[in-house]
Amino acid sequence: MADHAYVWIWLPGVREPVVAGRVQEYLTRERRTSYSFIYGRSYLANPEALSLFTELPLTSGEQMPAPGLEIAGVLLDATPDSWGRRVVNEQVLGSRTNQSEPAELDLLTYMLRSGSDRVGALDFQPSATEYVARGSEHQPTLDELMNAAELIEQGKELSPALADALFLGSSVGGARPKAAVVDEGKSFIAKFPSSADQHPMVKYEGLAMELARHVGINTARTEVKYTAGRDVLMVERFDRPGDGTRRMQVSALTILGVNPDTARGATSYPALADKIRSSFTEPNATLRELFARIVFNVIVRNTDDHARNTAAFWDGSQLTLTPAYDITPAHGRRDSVASHPMAIATDGDNRSMLEVCVGAAAVYQLSEKEAQEIVDHQIEVVQTQWRDAADNARLTTREREALWESSILNPAIFWEK
């Protein structure tokens, strides 16, 4: 078992990676595993070098993770979680992978045994001198990938060919089945149905992403496809410009410096707004965009808007909000007020209500009038254009009826506080 890995990086505008440094496993005084990082001398001497993120400044010497963290957030962002770990577990442990949140292996194993086409511009290698991309030489079909994902969910052993096919998606974050694919020179994340789905979640996410574009939110491009009797959501990757380069990216969780194990209740949109004012390009426009996304999450009842579902590009000195992604409506009763994992207001109010959003307008440098205009605009667009969006997402009449006023514009979002 390795006790270290080398971190390679694609610098801005460069098609080939260079080694940036080494992540090292060590034991704390409390006998807990933690991971340090040290930049390589060659990287520090590179005039084009930039820090992986502010938590790892571009200096010599071993750097420990911040208090409360096991590893620097930017490194954890590049490490597979949930679904990706299940894929790695399948490769390492065989059929003993039928757990929803596997944790049998250490972080370094997940780093070194997952695919190299991970989110952002980092990768992990056993060598500091030779970069060897991990991935299938054969580009699998969507049908092959879905079959492999289904077998993993069922805890069944994969054939070598299917295991190799799904390996491409093992470095992509999130809990749902997915894979990284390339089609006509463009990079996508393909999201598949889950055997645990009680509703057509692939199509629901496709609808929400389409509606988000309609209301004016900067959103990743998506398309719902139907292949081999199943739906798949194709999400075009915004961290891959298409010219062989990669864009550095960090999650809001990393920006806020929060431990993922204690993130719920420890992260908030107002805290992110503070970071936007101090560290982002175009802070006023970004705050308005963030507020619009919060409102839209309320309108479509996306209550999975945790801090890993917001991200920013990093250029070595400033952050820029990425397009929105992972917007999925959740079903709810008409008489039930939902809540979000991140507070909307400074007093910690996280209720999924439009009045909470408007009442917090000042946090996002908006007047209440401006905030209400954003709310009214989104409601009007959703009411008038959601059928077209539902057509594009291939929803049936019954599926539309199940969503309307359960997820989309649930009456509870209009109640007075």
Confidence of residue 95 (pLDDT cuts 50, 70, 90): low
Residues 341-397 pLDDT 10s: 999 999 999 999 999 999 999 999 999 999 999 999 999 999 999 999 999 999 999
Residues 273/274/280/281 CA torsion (nearest 10 deg): 70
Instruction: Give the pLDDT mean for 273-296.
Output: 98
Q: What number of other Cβ atoms are within 10 A of residue 286's Cβ?
A: 21
For residues 247 and 49, what is the distance between their CA atoms, to the nearest angstrom?
Answer: 14
pLDDT at 97: 47
Average pLDDT value over all residues in the chain: 89
Q: What number of other Cβ atoms are within 10 A of residue 72's Cβ?
A: 23
pLDDT at 335: 80
DSSP string, 315-380: -SS-EEEPPB---------TT---B-SSBSSTT---B--HHHHHHTGGGGT--HHHHHHHHHHHHH
CATH of range 142-236; options 3.10.129.10, 3.30.200.120, 3.40.50.1980, 3.20.20.70: 3.30.200.120
Distance of CA 380 to CAs 1, 70, 288, 290, 299, Å? 57, 45, 18, 19, 11
CATH 1.10.1070 location in the chain: 249-414
pLDDT at 101: 46
Instruction: Give the pLDDT mean for 85-89.
Output: 82
CATH 3.30.200.120 location in the chain: 142-236
Q: What number of other Cβ atoms are within 10 A of residue 166's Cβ?
A: 28
Entry pTM:
0.92
Confidence of residue 160 (pLDDT cuts 50, 70, 90): low
pLDDT at 31: 75
Most confident stretch, 118-127, 177-186, 225-234, 324-333: 118-127
Residues 9-37 pLDDT 10s: 999 999 999 999 999 999 877 778 999 99
Which structure tokens are listed for 134? Answer: 């991990």
Which structure tokens are listed for 28? Answer: 């704390």
Phi (first) and psi of residue 277, to 5 degrees = -65, -30
pLDDT at 376: 98
pLDDT at 396: 94
pLDDT at 100: 44
Ranges 230-239, 241-250, 408-417: which has the least confidence: 408-417
> Do 92 and 52 touch, CB atoms closer than 8 A?
no
Ranges 48-57, 262-271, 291-300: which has the least confidence: 262-271
Would you tell me the crossing angle of helices 368-392 and 283-300 to the nearest 10 degrees?
60
Instruction: Give the pLDDT mean for 27-54.
Output: 93
Is residue 105 classed exposed, middle or buried when 0-12, 13-18 and 19+ CB atoms within 10 A define those classes?
Answer: middle
Distance of CA 133 to CAs 17, 42, 117, 168, Å? 10, 21, 8, 11
pLDDT at 102: 47
Confidence of residue 294 (pLDDT cuts 50, 70, 90): very high
> Do 136 and 165 touch, CB atoms closer than 8 A?
yes
pLDDT at 164: 64
Residues 120-156 pLDDT 10s: 999 999 999 999 998 756 667 777 777 777 777 776 6
Confidence of residue 168 (pLDDT cuts 50, 70, 90): low
Confidence of residue 408 (pLDDT cuts 50, 70, 90): very high
For residues 106 and 103, what is the distance between their CA atoms, to the nearest angstrom?
Answer: 8
pLDDT at 318: 97
Higher local confidence (pLDDT), 415 or 74: 74
Instruction: Give the pLDDT mean for 310-315.
Output: 97
DSSP string, 153-212: HTTPPPPHHHHHHHGGGTTS-SSS-EEEEEETTEEEEEE---TT-SS-HHHHHHHHHHHH
Q: Which residues pair with 56 in a beta bridge?
A: 53
Q: Which helix (H) or strand (E) segment is 223 a member of?
A: strand 222-227
Would you tell me the crossing angle of helices 368-392 and 201-214 to the nearest 10 degrees?
130
Residues 178-216 pLDDT 10s: 888 887 788 999 898 887 778 899 999 999 999 999 999
Is residue 336 classed exposed, middle or buried when 0-12, 13-18 and 19+ CB atoms within 10 A define those classes?
Answer: exposed
Q: Which residues pair with 324 in a beta bridge?
A: 219
For residues 232 and 343, what is the distance between their CA atoms, to the nearest angstrom?
Answer: 32
For residues 344 and 201, what is the distance between their CA atoms, to the nearest angstrom?
Answer: 25
Question: The domain 249-414: what is its CATH number?
Answer: 1.10.1070
